[in-house]
Amino acid sequence: MIKNLSRTALNIFVSFFFAGFVISNSLNAADGKTVFKQNCAVCHTLTDQRGTGPGLGGIKDRAPGGDWLFNWVKNAEKMIKSGDPEANKIFKEYAPTVMTVFEGSLSDDDIKAVVEYIKNPPAPPTPTNTVTNDGGEVAGAEGGISPLYILLSVITILALLISVLRGVRVSLRNITNKKEGKAEEPSSTFWEETKSWMGGHRRFVGVCLIVITCIGVKGCWNTLFDVGVYYDWETGRGYKPEQPIKFSHKIHAGDNAIACQYCHNSVEKSRHAGIPTVNVCMNCHKGISAGPSGEKGTAEIAKIYAAAGFDSKTQKYDESKANPIKWIKVHNLPDHVYFNHSQHVVVGKIECAQCHGDVKKMTVAEQQSPLTMKWCIECHRKTEVAMEGNAYYDKLHEALKEKYKGQHMKAFTVSQMGGIECGRCHY
Amino acid sequence: MKFEKIINLKSVAAAAVLVLSSCSNAPNSPGYEFMPDMYRSPSLEYYSTHTLNGDTLLTAKKPVAGTIARGHMPGIPAGMDYEKSGLYLKNPIALSDAVMKDAEHLYTNFCVHCHGKDGKGDGAVGQKLPGAPPAYDGTLKSLSEGKIFYSITHGKGMMGAHDGQLNVEERWKLVHYVQKLQGPKAVADSAAAKATGPVDELKKEEKNK
């Protein structure tokens, strides 16, 4: 009997499990939205807020009519070269940054979808967090209840109802049996009753099982895309752990315009960008002991002093009291992949924001790219290597010039020089 | 019967809790993992701790005392103070356009937020310090290269030591940039020339040629 019971529990558990996955993983977003998130959102916002490129709020009214926007997204460089006045105006305003050419990497249908999407963007989401001046975060009301919770509570209520009704039925039957002087029926277990009920409704049970299996398989399939990915495909937001000190990138890199490299100073020399040691904090915080709005900041900065063994009254360090800050790493790559920051930043001349998002606006640091292999490879496929005048590639550039003498090379991407070979990152 | 019912309810509740917790999108949770040892390998990660014989140790270690890095460029000899550095240290890196370009890049990354774009001490962070950094073409106009190098290396006043962030070569490159921001030296100030030592005099001669 116990075995039966545990099987029931297992069955319920499994069906709950699958149902949960399905609801939490509705991957099928609108096409234009997906294309936008993966290709455009790094530089463009859907509001008037300027990023690396212009904000796209009201682009419908601003952009010249006809196919202009489509052509611009497809091949901005061609537009500029053709002498289009609007194209050249934007080019001058944002020089030396030029919009990426998407011809080749995006199909015409994709471009059409994304143009449609930016012309009619969804209403901006109401912010769930309000940010106070000193960078401390005040939790706002989370919008709505997840459908998963609704479903689960419905299932729980139904299950309770079934067991209560069953109890009532059994006791009623017992009473009538007693009145009529019949012998008490042998009590059957819940599972036995369910089994006999299922025997009577075979077709219904069969259909239910097929539906549950399909949902389960789809749910598992979807979930596989989330395994090991610290990133939510739906919202485009990722891992955002709470740090031991409420450090705000917005105040430091944004408001005070401190370069990323000041703190992450090994980014140009090493595979790791580096997490700053406490002496880097102390370079400025020796003199700055209060945040922009007072107490909250003061308490957080006091944590730096504690970590450095610094006495702000005497302005002296006591190394025996120093204790490293246990920062939590936000961007994690598994051990079986090799990534080198200096190669990307120094040689590839990639901006920090291309992978890390607009950190200058983040109160709490957050992962903003999927960091999946697909994501790496997509970029390696479409990124053209800037070899001209790049000392790192001098030798290779000369060799290639010799090899392709007389031929017109349109582009030379990272993948063409082995950037998607397995051994390049996995060894 | 009752006992079984309790078990049943309990297992349902446990299942529900399990499902709920596995689907949480809490920002503190890194999400689903499969075969976690592929992600969290037994090898030591940098910037973390490990235990050895019951002691918790940092994985980031200082090199053995006396270690010299490949391509190491000597910095300030032990025991040399600010004044002595001003007298005896000279820039081993010759000034060139490439050096200046590197130096400008370093300056924007490491100095600008306090000292400001033109070295006037008007950077965003500099303004928030108890005292803004003095201007290179003002108070610090006649500061010798050795003293500039010493200040970057070990810090000076409110400024912290930057030898952890910048290697010797980078620091000397920055000295060139700071000298550019100092502007042309005042020739009449013979006292300053004396204090800055023979190196600056040599430079002046080079310029005159």
Are residues A332 and A274 part of one domain?
yes
Select the more confidently predicted residue: A76 or A50. A76
Model confidence at A156: pLDDT above 90: yes
Q: Is A180 within a domain?
A: no
Q: How far is CA A124 from CA A69, A112, A127, B94, in A?
A: 22, 22, 9, 55
Kindly report the backbone phi and psi dihedral angles of residue A423, in degrees, each rounded to the nearest multiple of 5, phi listed first.
-70, -10
**A342 pLDDT more than 50:** yes
User: Would you state the pLDDT for residue A134?
Assistant: 38
Angle between helices A147-179 and A190-200 (to 10 degrees): 100
pLDDT at A91 over 90: no
| Least reliable range by pLDDT among A89-98, A196-205, A278-287, B49-58 | A89-98
* Nearest residue, CB atoms, A277 vs list B130, B158, B164: B164
Chain centroid to CA A11? 33
Judge whether B69 and B168 are in contact, CB under 8 Å: no
Half-sphere exposure of residue B71: CA atoms within 13 angstroms, side-chain side: 4
Q: What is the pLDDT of residues B124-179, one digit of tens each?
A: 998 888 888 888 988 888 889 999 999 999 988 888 899 989 999 999 999 999 99
Q: Which DSSP helix (H) or strand (E) runs through A399?
A: helix A394-403
Residue B66: inside a domain: no
CB B159 within 8 A of CB A288: no
Q: Which chain B residue shows the shortest CA-CA distance from A286?
A: B158
> What whole-number percentage of chain B has pLDDT above 90?
30
Residues 32-51 of chain A with CB under 8 A from chain B are none
Q: Do A152 and B19 touch (CB under 8 A)?
A: yes
Q: Look at chain A and count its residues.
A: 427
Closest among A348, A354, A379, A364 to A41, alpha carbons compared: A354
Question: Residue A295: which domain range?
Answer: 249-366
What does the buried/exposed string (b/e) look like for A154-171 if buried means 16 or more CB atoms within 10 Å of the residue's CB? ebeeeeeeeeeeeeeeee
Q: Do B160 and A5 touch (CB under 8 A)?
A: no
Domain end call among A109, A124, A139: A124
User: Are residues A389 and A280 part of one domain?
Assistant: no
Cβ of B47 within 8 Å of Cβ of A336? The answer is no
**Between B14 and B111, the higher pLDDT residue:** B111
Residues A333 and A269 reside in one and the same domain: yes
For position A245, what pLDDT does the model report? Answer: 93
Confidence of residue B5 (pLDDT cuts 50, 70, 90): low
The answer on A309 and A264 residing in a single domain is: yes
Same domain, A67 and A120: yes
Per-residue confidence (pLDDT) for residue B206, from 0 to 100: 52
The residue from A366, A391, A409 where one domain ends is A366
Q: What's the mean pLDDT when you consider all of chain A?
A: 80
A229 touches chain B (CB under 8 A): yes
Whether A16 sits inside 8 A of B31 (CB atoms) is no
**Co-location of A399 and A327 in the same domain:** no
Whole-number Å distance between alpha carbons of A55 and A63: 12
Mean pLDDT of A241-256: 92
**Are A317 and A417 part of one and the same domain?**
no
Question: Cβ of A279 and B18 within 8 Å?
Answer: no
- For residue A290, what are the CA distances in angstroms to A167, A305, B114? 65, 12, 17
Whether B16 sits inside 8 A of A156 (CB atoms) is yes
If one counts the domains in chain A, the total is 3
The sign of the dihedral angle between the CA atoms of B170, A343, A267, B78 is: negative
- Would residue B100 be called left, alpha or beta, if left means φ above 0 and alpha means ψ between -120 and 50 degrees? alpha
Has residue B26 been placed in a domain? no
pLDDT at B18: 57
pLDDT of residue A196: 85
Same domain, A271 and A351: yes
How many domains in chain B? 1
CATH code of the domain containing A120: 1.10.760.10
Residue A336 lies in a domain: yes
Q: Do A259 and B108 touch (CB under 8 A)?
A: yes
Provide the pLDDT confidence category of residue A158 given band limits of 50, 70 and 90. Answer: very high
Question: A294 with A134: CB under 8 angstroms?
Answer: yes
Give per-residue pLDDT as tens, B26-36.
667 777 777 76
Identify the band that residue A389 occupies on the pLDDT scale cut at 50, 70 and 90: confident
User: Comparing A181 with A202, which gets the higher pLDDT?
Assistant: A202
**Averaged over A309-327, what is the pLDDT?**
86
A contact residues 348-387, partner B, Cβ 8 Å cutoff: 364, 366
Separation between Cα atoms, residue B160 and residue B151, nearest integer Å: 9
Question: Region A178-189: what's the mean pLDDT?
Answer: 74
B125 in contact with A at a CB cutoff of 8 Å?
Answer: yes
**Token pair of A3 as six digits:** 């075995």
Which residues make beta-bridge pairs with A291?
Answer: A294
Sign of torsion over alpha carbons A69, A70, A73, A74? negative
| Average pLDDT over chain B, rounded to an integer | 79
pLDDT for B192 equals 45
**CA dist., res. B16 & res. B19, Å (int):** 5
Residues B20-47 as b/e (b if ≥16 CB within 10 A, e otherwise) read: eeebeeebeebbbbeeeeebeeeeeeee
> Which of A223-237, A309-323, B179-193 shows the highest mean pLDDT?
A309-323
Rounded CA-CA distance B40/A109 in Å is: 41
Share of chain A above pLDDT 70, in %: 82
Query: Which residues of chain A make contact with B7, given a CB cutoff of 8 A?
Result: 2, 5
Considering only residues A62 and B27, tell me which one the structure prediction assigns the higher pLDDT.
A62
Whether B107 maps to a domain, the answer reads: yes
**Nearest one of A93, A96, A12, A17 to A50, comparing CA atoms:** A93
Burial class (CB within 10 angstroms; exposed 0-12, middle 13-18, buried 19+) of B108: middle
The reply to whether B179 falls in a domain is yes
Name the residue facing A265 among B20, B32, B165 (closest C-beta).
B165
For A92-99, what is the mean pLDDT?
A: 68
What's the rounded mean pLDDT across residues A172-192? 78
pLDDT band at A400 (very low <50, low <70, confident <90, very high): confident
Determine whether the interchain pair A5/B8 forms a contact, defined as Cβ–Cβ distance below 8 Å.
yes
Residue B129 lies in a domain: yes
Q: Tell if the pTM clears 0.90, that is, is over it.
A: no
**Token digits for B31?**
């999400």
Q: Which residues of chain B neighbour A227 with C-beta distances below 8 Å?
A: 31-34
For residue B132, which residues of chain A lie inside 8 Å, CB to CB? none
In a domain, B75, yes or no: no
Determine the pLDDT at residue B73.
86
Residue A419 lies in a domain: yes
Is pLDDT larger for residue B44 or for residue A272?
A: A272
- Of the listed ranges A130-139, A141-150, B82-91, B191-200, the least confidently predicted one is A130-139
From the CB of residue B194, how many other CB atoms can be counted at a distance below 10 Å?
12
A184 touches B: beta carbon within 8 Å: no
Instruction: Specify if A53 maps to a domain.
Output: yes
Tell me if B171 sits within 8 A of B162, measured CB to CB. Answer: yes
For the cut 90, the answer to whether the pLDDT of residue B54 exceeds it is: no
Chain B residues touching residue A17 (CB < 8 angstroms): 15, 18-19
User: Does A257 reside within a domain?
Assistant: yes
Q: Check if B44 contacts A (Cβ < 8 Å).
A: no
Task: Give the pLDDT confidence score for residue A76 in this predicted structure.
Answer: 81
> Is a pLDDT exceeding 50 seen at residue B4?
yes
- Asked whether A306 and A289 are in contact (CB, 8 A), the reply is no
CATH of residue B177: 1.10.760.10
Find out whether the peptide bond into A96 is cis, omega within 30 degrees of 0: yes
Please judge whether B25 and A336 are an interchain contact, meaning their C-beta atoms are less than 8 angstroms apart. no
Amino acid identity, position A198: M
pLDDT 10s digits, A101-114:
777 667 888 888 88
Flag whether A286 is in a domain: yes
Q: Which of A10, A265, A328 to mutate to test binding with chain B, by most B CBs within 10 Å of its CB?
A: A265
Query: Does B57 reach chain A within 8 Å, measured CB to CB?
Result: no
Which positions in chain A touch B109 (Cβ < 8 Å)? 259, 261-262, 265
ipTM exceeding the 0.85 mark: no
Q: Among A67, A98, A124, where does a domain finish?
A: A124
Q: Which residues contact A234 (CB under 8 A, 6 or more apart)?
A: A26, A27, A29
Please name the residues between 100 and 159 in chain A that touch chain B, using a CB distance below 8 Å.
Answer: 148-149, 152, 156, 159
Tally helices (H) and strands (E) across chain A.
19, 6
Range of the domain at B160: 82-208
**What's the average model confidence in pLDDT over B40-67?**
82
- Which one of A9, A223, A256 has the shortest CB-CB distance to B32? A223
Test B31 with A229 for CB contact under 8 angstroms.
Answer: yes
Contact call for residues A212 and A219 (beta carbons, < 8 A)? no
A329 in the same domain as A257: yes
Evaluate whether A338 touches A223 at the Cβ level (below 8 Å).
no
- What residues form DSSP beta bridges with A131? A137
Residues A416 and A332 in one domain: no
Whether residue A360 is found in the same domain as residue A412: no
Give the mean pLDDT of A390-415: 84
Taking the C-alpha atoms of residue A422 and residue A28, their distance in angstroms, rounded to an integer, is 29
Comparing A60-69, A376-385, B121-130, the range with the smallest average pLDDT is A60-69
Q: How far apart are CA A21 and CA A36, in angstroms?
A: 26
pLDDT in tens, A113-143: 888 888 887 775 544 443 333 333 333 334 4
Residues A289 and A384 in one domain: no
